[in-house]
Amino acid sequence: MTMKQLYKVPFERNSERVKALRYQYVQAGDVVAISIGHRATIDTPGQRGANITMCAAISENGVRTHIPHIGPYNTQLLLAFLNALYRDLIPEQERGLVRPHLPNYVVVWDNVSFHRTNSVRDWFAAHERITVEFLPPYSPFLNPIEVFFSMEVESV
């Protein structure tokens, strides 16, 4: 008999519904994995994070915009971030223009409730060159910004 360390896993992270949503998001075809063993897990409620939060945007060229905040983010702070991102991405002379030769941008987000408010939807409707793509629930490993966040946490 061997002893295994017990890992806490949020209730819904590996539910069949979430797994199906991940599969639809990735659409990777055949996935080949070598399994060495399985972790011992227990379902627990999700934990709230620390009291310093950050909203950030990255591209293939690195960090584009980042705004740290003491306390949680909310809709108003998110809209301020989106406005800063818009100013960073779209040159002033191109603002309001939608033409085939101008680049478009995609924001990849998790499913935090304030990402889906009417005011945020209205913001995206008013800024046609920036669109949003939502990740499946409990799937931070599909979000490239998580690598940036993990490096930031290590440096604090």
Output the CA angle 56-142-55, nearest 5 degrees: 15
So what's the pLDDT on residue 83? Answer: 95
CATH number of 52-155: 3.30.420.10
Write out pLDDT tens, residues 49-96. 557 888 999 888 888 888 988 888 899 999 999 999 999 988 888 877
Phi and psi for 108 in degrees, rounded to 5? -100, 125
Higher pLDDT, 56 or 154: 56
Helix (H, G, I), strand (E, B) or coil at 15: coil
- Residue listed under structure tokens 């360390």: 5
Let me know: does 110 contact 77? Beta carbons within 8 Å: no
What is the residue-averaged pLDDT of the chain? Answer: 81
**Residue 143 and residue 14: Cα distance in Å, rounded?**
17
Write out pLDDT tens, residues 121-146. 999 999 988 999 999 988 888 888 88
Higher pLDDT, 147 or 119: 119
Helix (H, G, I), strand (E, B) or coil at 91: coil
**Please, where are the H alpha helices in the chain?**
16-26, 75-89, 118-126, 145-155
pLDDT surpasses 90 at 152? no
Q: Are strands 62-70 and 52-59 parallel, antiparallel or unpaired?
A: antiparallel
Higher pLDDT, 37 or 1: 37
Tokens of 75: 């809709």
pLDDT surpasses 80 at 115? yes
Domain ranges of the chain: 6-44, 52-155
